[in-house]
Structure 1
């Protein structure tokens, strides 16, 4: 039985060639502290905000040269069944379900538009120890150039209903589980250079967006967008010194009215 409803964002991790550099950067920008590395699980190292597990970092496996990127995991009651749904609906499993000790079972997948994500069937590790507080995960969006594929794929794999945001300037939809909105989907337009791949955009909460951006850029991060205030908070999109994209958001600094949403057709 999943600790969280099927399809809920439940964990995030990233692979870094310079693990100590990543710890120093995110420790400064997000206030993270780090646990002991687990040699048994490839030096996987959990990050903590105020003593609560909020993410993890790890080095590449020997011979692996993938670029650094944050990976978002979605909860599943049965990873093997979810893998079947992924393949049946045009997605690809990059790593078949693999048991990780008593912690749970994971798989890696890609949607038909190229968005990579993880799936997590909880064991003793149920996922985020905190959400929406400084240093913790807050929100995520599927950034894709093929929104129709994402809109068909994700609700076929997970029990999402779709709502469309009424905004003539962006193509944005919300993925709901019952009455709770758990994730967004953004169409990537011409403002995204061709070399930027489709991806999951992961947001971490900060107490002060501008201060977090200042710390990130001082430490070698690159500001990609913002800071800008919106009805949901003040946020900015960044790339860390090793190339991993992420966003920060101060959820208490808001501006404007929440846009109207309607059921997606």
Structure 2
């Protein structure tokens, strides 16, 4: 596939798991993934495939840095080092400086001012997802933040997004890149336990939302929300048995009218 435009978040996703074999078994069953061979050259990084197309990766932690598991979404950039400067200049924090992964590309990890961790990917031979919006593949993502004002000031500047309010949902915004909505932003309410940090929720496409939820909970996953019908599809929010949050969505099962959007003026 072609390299994604600057700032596209549908570039790549991976997660660090303390128990990679358990993660492979869980997501293989829930999302229908198969897995390639681990590459010791890049920290036993293991790609996941849906219908033969690369859709994500799982990786063990660096020894001594074990912790909670969470999916990381990567944004396409032309120059990771230059984007890292914009991140710092706008209140973000670099967790890992730009690092080249052989011929595959250059990556960087950062935290936006609202607290959510995300990545940058400057493509080399690895251009990103081999498929999107297909069963088992990435479909959408939302930044869940406890400090939406800081998040809303950050992303439009770093990635040249335009902001829109979706319907009457005051706590939810869309970030547009050009004329296309590419990312959602959700305000975390008191319904979220205080120990849950801001995070990026990655949506994976499934053929049947309810069946995916059943497979997930039978394997020790936790249903956080749903399943629920929306104009965008029937979705549910889950955590796997190692605590990594993600959502599943059946985009063929929709209900209701699409909500109207209202453009949010840029801050002066």
* Corresponding residue number in structure 1 for 2:240: 240
* Corresponding residue number in structure 2 for 1:255: 255
TM-score between the two structures when normalised by the length of structure 1? 0.98
Q: d(CA) in 1 for partners of 2:167 and 2:241?
A: 36
Measure how far apart 1:145 and its partner are. Answer: 1.2
Please state whether the residue corresponding to 1:130 is helix, strand or coil.
Answer: coil
User: Is the CA contact (8 Å cut-off) linking 2:18 and 2:67 kept in structure 1?
Assistant: no
Measure how far apart 1:113 and its partner are. Answer: 1.1
* Corresponding residue number in structure 2 for 1:113: 114
Please state whether the residue corresponding to 2:85 is helix, strand or coil.
Answer: helix
* Corresponding residue number in structure 1 for 2:72: 71
TM-score between the two structures when normalised by the length of structure 2? 0.97
Measure how far apart 1:70 and its partner are. Answer: 0.3
Q: d(CA) in 2 for partners of 1:142 and 1:32?
A: 25
The farther-off stretch of 118-127 and 187-196 is 187-196
* Corresponding residue number in structure 1 for 2:90: 89
* Corresponding residue number in structure 1 for 2:45: 44
Give the number of aligned pairs: 263
Q: CA RMSD in A?
A: 0.9
CA displacement, residues 76-128 of structure 1 (integer Å, 9 cap, x when unaligned)? 01000000000000000011100000000000000111110000000000000
Task: Give unmatched runs, 5+ long, in structure 2.
Answer: none
Task: Give unmatched runs, 5+ long, in structure 1.
Answer: none
The ranges of structure 1 where at least 4 consecutive aligned residues each deviate by more than 6 angstroms after the TM superposition are none
Please state whether the residue corresponding to 1:72 is helix, strand or coil.
Answer: strand
Q: d(CA) in 1 for partners of 2:3 and 2:235?
A: 29
* Corresponding residue number in structure 2 for 1:101: 102
* Corresponding residue number in structure 2 for 1:26: 27
Measure how far apart 1:259 and its partner are. Answer: 0.7
* Corresponding residue number in structure 1 for 2:190: 190
5 Å matches for 1:137-148? 137-148=138-149
